[in-house]
Amino acid sequence: MNPPQPRCAQALIPSPDWALFLDVDGTILHIADSPNGVVPNKRVCRSLCQLTTHLRGAVALISGRTIENLDRLFAPLKLPVAGLHGLERRDAGGDLHILGEAESLEHLRRPFARLAASRGGVMLEDKGRALAIHYRQAPEEAEAVRHQVEDLVLPSARDLRVLHGKMVSEVKPRHADKGSAIHAFMCEAPFMGRVPVFMGDDVTDEDGFAAVNVLEGHTIHVGGGLETAARYRLSDVDRVTEWLESLPSRFRSRHR
């Protein structure tokens, strides 16, 4: 049986007891041809500042990017954040929690570099504790890249996990995912005791959706076409921007 279709997120009634968790690329920022091509959005940054105040600090980014990269992208804003799909996490107090070792991927660096170099428009992004092969500029290479990545990782499948996202195949240690990162935040102030709300756009966000559904929170998928465990949906990044901007006034109106 197919899962029920997600409802429009506009049906959600915002509550000041929410804990808001946000994926970045494809969710609150438009995807670019390369990771370095993503452009910061002042409207989103302004909304995140306002929401941090309204939710008493319970706003976090949950991304495949590194924390260092996210800090540059959202500067001067410095939120609680989980990077590398949960392998690194900075809590609300500023403490870092690191899982996985860059050395666990050392045997794959040269083969991945050769794979990227052998196909026009394909690039390798080395994140230290994760490796990503991007083929957004060569979509015709998708099937071949996915198969080769799977073959290269297969001997290490006990310790490593492959994530096939939008025009990217990524490998990382099996120590964490976006769901476990959200669980960790929910055990700490200021997230503890709140209702988790997680928004993402890709198959790499499904671990987060599953975790938040178990916690009886709200899950929002951005975009269409993919089967998802999320229970709500918004059509694109621009609608997400508008929705985030609307939340502060809707929080206020609820308490009049």
Q: Cα(45)–Cα(36) distance, rounded to whole angstroms?
A: 18
Are the C-beta atoms of residues 173 and 128 closer than 8 Å to each other?
A: no
Residue 56 — left, alpha, or beta (φ > 0 → left; ψ -120 to 50 → alpha)?
A: left
**Which H helix or E strand runs over 21?**
strand 18-22
Catalytic residue selected from 23, 71, 91, 177: 23
167: left (phi over 0), alpha (psi -120 to 50) or beta: left
202 labelled catalytic:
no
| CA distances for 23 relative to 3, 79, 156, 164, angstroms | 22, 13, 28, 16
The CA distance from 126 to 35, in Å, is 11
What are phi and psi for residue 86, nearest 5 degrees? 100, -5
Structure letter (DSSP) for residue 199 = E
What secondary structure letter does DSSP report for 226?
S
DSSP H/E element including 240: helix 237-254
> Would you please indicate which residues are annotated as catalytic (active-site) residues?
23
